[in-house]
């Protein structure tokens, strides 16, 4: 079983969605990622370079959410997974993108797309 590093509840304003108002006004998105990797080498040497710097990862993920708009949060989730998998220590990742202010005309708590991706 691989180890896990989780980053939960990253809140970033983005302009994703299919409706013109979503692109114009933007809204808050919430991102959760779970990285699967081996943390033993980092722990053995107490060496940050042998694991994932979650502060830098958070900044990279935030740039994607705040960056180029896409229609689907499925597409956004894939872009975020790609950012995580670009780190050589990460074997696989689970990404959840929450869109709590989705334009749904009924009461609801959240809309979430969750994907799991692994290295090819």
Cα–Cα nearest to 76, from 86, 68, 87: 68
| Structure-token match 């689907």, residue found | 72
Please list the active-site residues.
99
Classify the phi-psi angles of 26: left when phi > 0, otherwise alpha if psi is within -120 to 50, otherwise beta: left
Q: Residue 29, SS3?
A: strand
């Amino acid at each position: 079983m691989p180890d896990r590093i989780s980053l939960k509840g990253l809140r970033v304003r983005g302009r994703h969605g299919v409706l013109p108002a979503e692109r114009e006004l933007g809204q808050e998105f919430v991102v959760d990622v779970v990285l699967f990797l081996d943390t033993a080498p980092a722990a053995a040497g107490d060496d940050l370079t042998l694991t994932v710097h979650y502060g830098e990862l958070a900044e990279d993920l935030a740039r994607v959410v705040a960056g180029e708009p896409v229609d689907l949060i499925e597409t956004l989730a894939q872009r975020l997974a790609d950012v995580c998998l670009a780190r050589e220590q990460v074997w696989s990742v689970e990404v959840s993108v929450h869109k709590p202010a989705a334009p749904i005309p009924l009461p609801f708590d959240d809309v979430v797309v969750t994907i799991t991706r692994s290295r090819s």
